[in-house]
Amino acid sequence: MTGAAAVSVGDLVATRTRHPEAIAEAAVRRTRRPLLGDRSRLMIVAADHPARGSLAVGGRELAMANRHDLLERLCLALSRPGVDGVLATADILEDLLLLGALEGRVVMGSMNRGGLAGASFELDDRFTGHRARDLARLRFDAGKLLLRIDYADPGSPATLHSAARAIDEMAARALPVFVEPFICHREDGRLRNDLTADAVTRSLAIASGLAGTSAYTWLKVPVTADPDDMARVMETTTLPAVLLGGEPGGDQDATYEKWRTALRLPTVQGLVAGRSLLYPADGDVAGAVDIAVGLLRPPGRDV
């Protein structure tokens, strides 16, 4: 990684130790912006993985565990032209607030992190992160929730209920909420997301109908196993959607091409990507982010 912003963990710890009120003060002072900028397309960098114990990137099991390294990568990504904002949990967003990295950026808080990766209770994804009132108090701009449904798990109705009520609470405050739905099942005890076109279609239909209003609901959608199916999948809803970047793959160029194709669909309004941009195989965070931003650019226009 080259060109990373300088981050002092010592300074962050000193502020947190001696002046914890500085976080709230920084949130009040932060310069805000509309959710959609002049381009009317969103480019959000995601870093809410650690709070679920999901720290692996590729073959590195604890890649995201180094907070100093993660913050430097995030600051670099947020400094690139065309990046609109960041999705993360409270601890990471508060570090970024203290670093001044959230000025004029969209700040999206992660709401449910209770379903720890690999745990027997992973589907019991309780709302242990930001609440709607926390996002409003901190003057953040949106929230995100994960909605995983297993038809064989009797706990899924409780998951649907808690997600619906969280959407209601966000709408009551006129705060957008990005819902990331999956149909999933267990294979050999491990939870798997079904990325077939039929499963993604069904998950979008379910998520679109949750809560008392969908006025502030966005969808966060994975690219299907066969990207040619995305046009049919996105016919399921009129809610605005962003693409989920997913885990880094071996063929990054193929991943970019999948995103480029899906971003041409009328419902798709942007991209939310995390590990594939923050931990690219070649280590060039700025280069990976710039390529992703370029995919959002309409043909023949600059960012």
Tell me what the pLDDT averaged over the chain comes to. Answer: 92
Minimal CA–CA distance to 108: which of 54, 50, 43? Answer: 43
Predicted confidence at residue 4, as pLDDT, reads 53
Percent of the chain scored above 70 by pLDDT?
95
Q: Residues 112, 127: contact at Cβ < 8 Å?
A: yes
Give the integer Cα–Cα distance in Å for 139 and 141.
6
Predicted confidence at residue 297, as pLDDT, reads 78
Q: pLDDT digit string (tens) for 102-117?
A: 999 999 999 999 999 9
Q: pLDDT digit string (tens) for 153-208?
A: 998 999 999 999 999 999 999 999 999 999 999 998 889 999 999 999 999 999 99
Give the integer Cα–Cα distance in Å for 243 and 215.
19
- Would you give the end-to-end CA distance of the chain in angstroms? 24
Predicted confidence at residue 183, as pLDDT, reads 97
Predicted confidence at residue 303, as pLDDT, reads 44
Q: Residues 2, 286: contact at Cβ < 8 Å?
A: yes
Cβ neighbors of 232 (< 8 A, separation 6 or more) are 197, 201
Indicate the residue type of 271.
L
Q: pLDDT digit string (tens) for 232-263?
A: 999 999 999 999 987 666 677 888 888 999 99
Task: Compute the radius of gyration of the chain from its Cα atoms.
Answer: 18
DSSP letter at 268? E
* Long-range Cβ pairs for the range 119-127 (8 Å, 24+): 119/53, 122/148, 122/191, 123/148, 123/150, 123/153, 123/155, 123/156, 123/159, 123/184, 123/191, 124/155, 124/158, 124/159, 125/159, 126/162, 127/162, 127/166
Q: Which domains are present in the chain?
A: 9-295 (3.20.20.70)
Predicted confidence at residue 96, as pLDDT, reads 97
Give the integer Cα–Cα distance in Å for 65 and 72.
13
Give the integer Cα–Cα distance in Å for 255 and 250.
9
- The percent helix, strand, coil of the chain (3-state, each to 5) is 40, 20, 45
pLDDT, greater one: 294 or 252: 294
User: Exposure string (b/e) for 235-274, b if CB count within 10 Å is 16 or more?
Assistant: ebbebbbbbbbbebeeeeeebbebbebbbebebbbbbbbb
Its pTM surpasses 0.75: yes
Q: Residues 296, 256: contact at Cβ < 8 Å?
A: no
Q: Residue 58's pLDDT band (boundaries 50, 70, 90)?
A: confident
Predicted confidence at residue 116, as pLDDT, reads 93
Angle at 54 between CA 164 and CA 175, to 5 degrees: 30
Residues in the chain: 303
Q: pLDDT digit string (tens) for 128-149?
A: 999 999 999 999 999 999 999 9
DSSP letter at 101? T
Give the integer Cα–Cα distance in Å for 34 and 176.
11
The half-sphere exposure of 21 on its side-chain side, counting CA atoms within 13 A, is 0
